[in-house]
Amino acid sequence: MNPILGLLSGLVFGLGLVVSGMADPAKVLNFLDLFGTWDPSLAFVMAGATVTAHVGYRLVWRRAAPLRMPEFDLPSARAIDAPLLTGAALFGLGWGIGGFCPGPALTALPLAAPGTLVFVPAMLAGLWMGGRAKSAMTHRKGPAT
Amino acid sequence: MELDTVTAFTPVASLAGGILIGLSAVMVMAIFGRIAGISGITRGALGAITGGPDARWRIGFVVGLLAAPFAYALWAGDLPAQTVPGNLPAMAAAGLIVGTGTAIGSGCTSGHGVCGLARLSPRSLAAVATFMGTAIVTVFVLRHLI
């Protein structure tokens, strides 16, 4: 049951990415190009998604537990630390070059544009390498974040 | 990157798509009690995060993401249109940097952006401000300085 519920959630997420235009790197890069061919559409994506999630989370958290897991598991890290800011800065750099963040890249994969076919395997390798780098950092510095 | 095609301003479709993304984040919280962060879900699906009860729904989620363009085509009659940068070495570098950065920074546009901001997390706000800032600077440099 869980894989099917996960699939449905992913399908809704992916449809949102496609309908909103986030899965089109040209639109993302134009959103980031404030001083050129600026397309403010993606501000509406962020607003719609964030407000919906904000309201929905509050309704969901009235329950004692989620439907399919024993408890809610929210990120406990609070620190605005070097891994957070370094990682985010790197991510922004890559996002600005390619116009893809992880969700849209995966959703666009079956459309099989050459740029996507190169981006996604490199991203998966990066996710693996970055995870190793982060655990090396946190093991040196103390508790995991 | 030579890709300065003008794209149409689509506030209604973008808002509607954003609401779908938000709904999916709420589904993941209601069903699994987790943040719908795509970089984390992908790492979980790859087995990079210790398996446990979460690996299976995460694999399902990624399959759902991959199926979305076809579901869209059933409804819209056509696969979604897109323009992907064609500079393949740059795209390989971009993918590697995006993957590394989101793993080190514990999240991307969905986990820190949508879910973190929805939780009013100061940590996520700092991440979003940072990646929006470096992304805007990167596009400015690539399009207007180089």
ipTM (interface pTM): 0.95
| Token pair listed for A49 | 């998604």
Length of chain B: 146
In a domain, B3, yes or no: no
Q: Which chain B residues in 20-79 lie under 8 Å from chain A, judged by CB atoms?
A: 20-36, 38-39, 42-43, 46, 48-49, 53, 56-72, 79
Compute the mean pLDDT over every residue in chain A, rounded to the nearest whole number: 94
Terminal CA-CA length for chain B: 9
Instruction: Give the whole-angstrom CA distance, residue A115 versus residue A140.
Output: 37
In a domain, B1, yes or no: no
Cβ–Cβ below 8 Å for A5 and B60: yes
Cβ–Cβ below 8 Å for B131 and A92: yes
In a domain, B135, yes or no: yes
Q: What is the pLDDT of residue B54?
A: 85
C-alpha gyration radius of chain A = 18
Q: What is the pLDDT of residue A9?
A: 98
CB A115 within 8 A of CB B84: yes
Quote the DSSP letter at residue A143.
S
* Residues A6-35: b if buried by 16+ CB within 10 A, e if exposed: bbbbbbbbbbbbbbbbbbbbbbbbbbbbee
Nearest C-alpha neighbor of A101 from the set B145, B132, B81: B132
In a domain, B30, yes or no: yes
* Main-chain dihedrals φ then ψ at residue B25, nearest 5 degrees: -60, -40
Residue that is written with structure tokens 């997420």 in the block: A13
In chain B, which residues have their Cβ closer than 8 Å to the Cβ of A42? 14
Domain count, chain B: 1
Q: What is the pLDDT of residues A119-137, one digit of tens each?
A: 999 999 999 999 998 888 7
In chain B, which residues have their Cβ closer than 8 Å to the Cβ of A35? 140, 144
Q: What is the pLDDT of residue A145?
A: 43
Cβ neighbors of B4 (< 8 A, separation 6 or more) are A30, A33, A36, A37, B143
Length of chain A: 145
The residue segments making up the domain with residue B68 are: 11-145
In a domain, B66, yes or no: yes
Cβ–Cβ below 8 Å for A123 and B96: yes
Q: What is the pLDDT of residues B4-25, one digit of tens each?
A: 579 999 999 999 999 999 999 9
Instruction: Give the whole-angstrom CA distance, residue B120 versus residue A86.
Output: 21
C-alpha gyration radius of chain B = 17
User: Low-confidence residues of chain B, pLDDT below 70?
Assistant: 1-4, 48-51
In a domain, B6, yes or no: no
Q: What SS3 class is residue B90?
A: helix
Q: What is the pLDDT of residue B1?
A: 45
In a domain, B2, yes or no: no
Q: Flag whether pLDDT at A140 surpasses 80.
A: no
